[in-house]
């Protein structure tokens, strides 16, 4: 760990995280990281996928978020999302990061190199939604056949009896 920060509240953590990434903006001037809200031991944020890996590396190395509790996909029809729940065991704080992924480019950086447990979550999200995690060490299906062409949790997926 490069610089270890001891904090007492989710608000303090959120302020430090936002200060670290405040310079990161999109081409149209929007922030790449925004705070949605905080509660005792909970932080909710939205991040642009272009900063996800750097944000997660910072959260692990500096803010002591040592566990990826879950990585899950969400299909909103107009776009996909990947939702991360990261845990800091020292403070009991959980941060939720929501990242939008456009339907025409279903790629996002893998965080399996930061948290090994994210490996399985990313594989499952790939298998069910078709979201590709760039840099993943073994991105292949877990339960369905490798040649299976569908992603069953997409809203566009039709069950056989619905097709008739």
Q: What is the pLDDT of residue 26?
A: 66
74 vs 44, 111, 159, CA distance in Å? 16, 18, 19
Q: What is the pLDDT of residue 148?
A: 83
- pLDDT by residue, tens only, the chain of 164 residues: 445 555 668 999 999 999 998 877 766 767 899 999 999 999 999 999 999 999 999 999 999 999 999 999 999 999 999 999 999 999 999 999 999 999 999 999 999 999 999 999 999 999 999 999 999 999 999 888 888 888 877 887 665 555 54
Q: Where are the domains of the chain?
A: 10-163
Q: What six digits make up the tokens of 24?
A: 């990161």
**What is residue 49's DSSP assignment?**
G
For domain 10-163, which CATH number applies: 3.30.460.80, 2.60.120.10, 3.30.300.30, 3.40.50.2300? 3.30.460.80
Q: For 66, phi and psi rounded to 5 degrees?
A: -95, 5
Neighbouring-strand partners of residue 68: 86
Nearest CA among 52, 51, 57 for reference residue 24: 51
Q: How far apart are CA 34 and CA 134, in angstroms?
A: 23
Residue 55 is inside which H or E element, if any?
Answer: helix 52-61
**Strand, coil or helix: what is 32?**
coil
**Strand, coil or helix: what is 13?**
helix
């Amino acid at each position: 760990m490069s610089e270890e920060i001891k904090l007492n509240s989710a608000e303090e953590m959120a302020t430090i995280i936002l200060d670290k990434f405040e310079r990161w903006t999109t081409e149209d001037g929007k922030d790449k990281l925004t705070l949605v809200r905080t509660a005792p031991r909970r932080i909710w944020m939205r991040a642009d996928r272009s900063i996800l890996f750097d944000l997660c590396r910072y959260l692990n190395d500096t803010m002591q978020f040592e566990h990826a509790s879950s990585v899950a996909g969400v299909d909103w029809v107009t776009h996909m999302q990947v939702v991360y729940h990261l845990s800091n065991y020292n403070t009991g704080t959980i941060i939720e990061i929501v990242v939008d992924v456009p339907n025409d480019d279903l790629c996002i950086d893998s965080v399996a190199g930061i948290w090994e447990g994210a490996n399985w979550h990313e594989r499952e999200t790939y298998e069910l939604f078709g979201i590709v995690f760039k840099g993943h060490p073994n991105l292949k299906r877990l339960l369905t056949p490798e040649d299976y062409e569908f992603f069953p949790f997409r809203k566009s997926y039709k069950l056989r009896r619905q097709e008739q």
